[in-house]
């Protein structure tokens, strides 16, 4: 090859690489600037910061990846986690957070965030964790906000003031493992596909106003379910006879303080991993099934305040 042509090829290659590096760097700067602007907008929606954590730390004088509660990705240096747990913050969640397009974890428990969750959060398709426990959030749970988050594994909205019914589409999410709606004001019946979830391991609606009966629809897809906590609601009816045969790994079942009645189904005692069983304060009748002795892992059992009878077997 002609030396002149070789030099030109070398020159063009070097210039192209430098330009590529420049544009990548500029894109990174623009993106992290977007993240910073989103977080500053979030800070501006905080009306009280009792420990002055954000006031002192979140400023233009320090890189956003060094701010308290912020974690950035090691390769793209975008914000991947916002964790402001237990800071006593008072304010609202602004729609600007939706611009944190690389966010994996939104963790804001034990604060006093108020108002509705902005629907714009639905665009955060990379979210894996939403933990908003112990705040003052309200409004209905809008299914389309969450079902677009196909990587979501944990959805915890416990101890807020959410109202309305529970969307059935939440139980179709293929990655969701933890669904925690304790201590809200949800009403209506639980979705009929509750026990058809392909991924759920932990589901709790403790302390709501849920009514209706427990769905009898169940499949082998629910075998990974470990915890079902529905105590202190307004549910009623008989427990489906064969439902527990499809929940072999169930460890915790808490149905106390409802209006369930009828006999305790024998299928419950096929849950060999069960260690916590609370059926107290209902209207169950009949005999306590002898199969309860097959639950060798059982540590806690509460059956009081029912109409059950004990069969005393002679030695």
Q: Which domain CATH number covers 220?
A: 3.80.10.10
> Range of 4's domain?
1-30
Q: What pLDDT sits at residue 222?
A: 77
Would 244 be classed as within a structural domain?
A: yes
Q: What pLDDT sits at residue 30?
A: 43
To 5 degrees, how large is the angle CA 123–CA 208–CA 244?
90
What's the pTM? Answer: 0.88
Calpha distance 164→180 (Å, rounded): 15
3-class state of residue 225 by DSSP:
coil
Residues in the chain predicted with pLDDT less than 50, given as ranges, are 15-16, 18-30, 315
Q: CA separation (Å) from 167 to 79, 135, 246, 255? A: 30, 21, 23, 21
Would 299 be classed as within a structural domain?
A: yes
Which residue shows structure tokens 């910073």? Answer: 36
Would 303 be classed as within a structural domain?
A: yes
Q: How many domains does the chain have?
A: 2
Would 6 be classed as within a structural domain?
A: yes
Q: What pLDDT sits at residue 81?
A: 99
Q: Which of 173, 68, 184, 174 minimizes the C-alpha distance to 135?
A: 184
* Number of neighbouring beta carbons within 10 Å of residue 10: 10
Per-chain mean pLDDT for the chain:
90
Q: What pLDDT sits at residue 4?
A: 55
Would 308 be classed as within a structural domain?
A: yes
- CB contact at 8 A, 280 and 256: yes
- For the stretch 196-221, pLDDT in tens is 988 999 999 999 999 999 988 876 66
Would 76 be classed as within a structural domain?
A: no
Would 50 be classed as within a structural domain?
A: no
Would 281 be classed as within a structural domain?
A: yes
């Amino acid at each position: 090859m002609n030396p002149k042509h070789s030099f030109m090829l070398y020159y063009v290659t070097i210039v192209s690489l430098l330009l590529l590096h420049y544009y990548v760097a500029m894109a990174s700067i623009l993106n992290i600037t977007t993240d910073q602007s989103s977080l500053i907008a979030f800070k501006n929606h905080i009306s009280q910061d009792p420990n002055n954590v954000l006031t002192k730390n979140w400023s233009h004088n320090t890189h956003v990846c060094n701010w308290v509660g912020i974690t950035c990705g090691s390769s793209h240096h975008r914000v991947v986690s916002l964790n402001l747990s237990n800071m006593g913050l008072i304010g609202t969640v602004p729609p600007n957070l939706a611009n944190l397009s690389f966010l994996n974890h939104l963790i804001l428990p034990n604060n006093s965030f108020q108002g509705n969750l902005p629907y714009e959060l639905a665009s955060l398709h990379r979210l894996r964790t939403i933990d908003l426990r112990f705040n003052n959030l309200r409004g209905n749970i809008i299914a389309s906000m969450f079902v677009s988050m196909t990587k979501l594994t944990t959805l915890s909205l416990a101890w807020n003031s959410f109202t309305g019914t529970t969307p059935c589409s939440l139980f179709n999410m293929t990655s969701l493992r933890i669904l925690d709606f304790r201590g809200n004001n949800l009403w209506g019946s639980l979705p009929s596909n509750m026990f058809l979830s392909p991924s759920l391991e932990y589901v709790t609606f403790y302390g709501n106003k849920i009514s209706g009966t427990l769905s009898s629809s169940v499949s082998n897809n629910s075998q990974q379910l470990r915890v079902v906590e529905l105590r202190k609601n307004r549910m009623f009816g008989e427990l489906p006879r064969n439902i527990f045969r499809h929940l072999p790994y169930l460890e915790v079942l808490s149905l106390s303080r409802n209006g369930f009645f009828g006999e305790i189904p024998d299928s419950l005692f096929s849950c060999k991993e069960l260690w916590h069983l609370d059926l107290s304060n209902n209207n169950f009748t009949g005999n306590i099934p002898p199969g309860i002795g097959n639950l060798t892992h059982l540590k806690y059992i509460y059956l009081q305040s029912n109409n059950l009878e004990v069969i005393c077997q002679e030695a």
